[in-house]
Amino acid sequence: MSDCLFVKLRPTAPWRLGPSNGARDRTDSICHSDTLYSALCHAMSRFDWLQAWLGATAEAENGCQVRLTSMFPWQGDLTYVPGPRNIWPPATARLRAGGADFVPSTLIASLLRGEGLEEDKWEVDGLSRCLIKAGRRGAYAGPFRHALRSSAAVDRLDAGAIGVHQTACIEFSQNAGLWCLAEFSTGEAGEQWSARLQSCFRLLADSGIGGERSRGWGHFEIEEMRAARLPDLLLGPPAAPTEEPPVEQAYWMLSLFSPASSDRIQWDKGTYSLIDRGGRLESAAGWGARKKRLRMVREGSVLLAEERPSGTAHNVAPDGFPHPVFRAGFAVAVAVPWSHQP
């Protein structure tokens, strides 16, 4: 088990999480861990903690001290996670479970224990692709939905020239939001960085995360910040040991992952998918310059490895850029028994 900081946010405005292709009429449903890391780097710089933060994470010589999950939805008493790809979606008779990208963590815990899925208690919300309790109806049955907001650009020199365009965003339901974890490598790292991270999240609540922040998007309130233990937070306390033969262990990814040279991943096994990450810089040294693209392992992937994956950060700044720009690919992974359901 590892010490973590659990952060639960309640958005107060729409959020824009740009998709990999950059299309304005599309938005991602996940604030990926590399985006969250970038936002925290900007906040750290405001407090003059950036060099220490980079020294503890992207530039650390003895392993990253703070690893971040991606940000996933919550609604009411349900905390959603991307289902482990080796057991989700399960075989079902009526429920179209394959349409759910996000699953309540309590349900994942029961599936990992070998318990069946009670199909009549759940249904898939088509707008958010979350598995929700059966019987909820309406546009805001799930934690969020995608929407298009219209804007108009007015030419100051020619008042008659108006360019109307639409931008995709995420609108959140009442009593819903996003959550994430910061995992500390040691108790000492937690003592050093927990309070600083909480300060950074409070700053980001006012400045925003994601795109269109100049319009007020990406803002939030802090619903909860507390110490937690992983994997107990998601899967509950561990089951009592049994005399059954040991099973092969796998690792369920809760962050984007870029393998380090020391990681020994069995790429011919496991169930995983990849995502292509790009984007533009927000730096006084070159605002809007394109970052180098990087292919990473998606959240929800299940990897087999000799030991817990570590991951690394890559400098994705354009060639000749005056300072490095890091894309975090550090692994936050939960050990799960390996089993595969085709």
Task: Kindly report which listed range (140-154, 255-269, 317-331) carries the lowest average pLDDT score.
Answer: 140-154
Alpha-carbon dihedral of residues 296, 168, 24, 131, nearest 10 degrees?
30
| Phi, psi dihedral angles at 54 (to 5 degrees) | -65, -35
Q: Taking the domains of the chain in order of start, what are their residue ranges?
A: 2-235
CA dist 72 to 101, 204, 210, 281, Å?
11, 17, 14, 24
Q: So what's the pLDDT on residue 246?
A: 57
pLDDT given at position 162: 77
Contacts of 256 (CB under 8 A, 6+ apart): 32, 33, 34, 70, 275, 277, 296, 297, 298, 299, 328, 329
Class of domain 2-235: alpha beta
Tokens of 337: 């028994």
Q: pLDDT tens-digit profile of 14-57?
A: 999 988 777 888 999 999 999 999 999 999 999 999 999 999 99
Average confidence (pLDDT) over 250-256: 97
pLDDT digits over 60-109, tens only? 988 999 999 999 999 999 999 999 999 999 988 888 889 999 999 999 99
* Beta-carbon count within 10 A of 139 CB: 11
What span, in angstroms and rounded, lies between the C-alpha atoms of 42 and 54? 11
pLDDT score of 257: 98
Nearest to 184 by CA among 301, 322, 43, 69: 69
Residue 39 has what pLDDT?
97
Residue type, 55: G
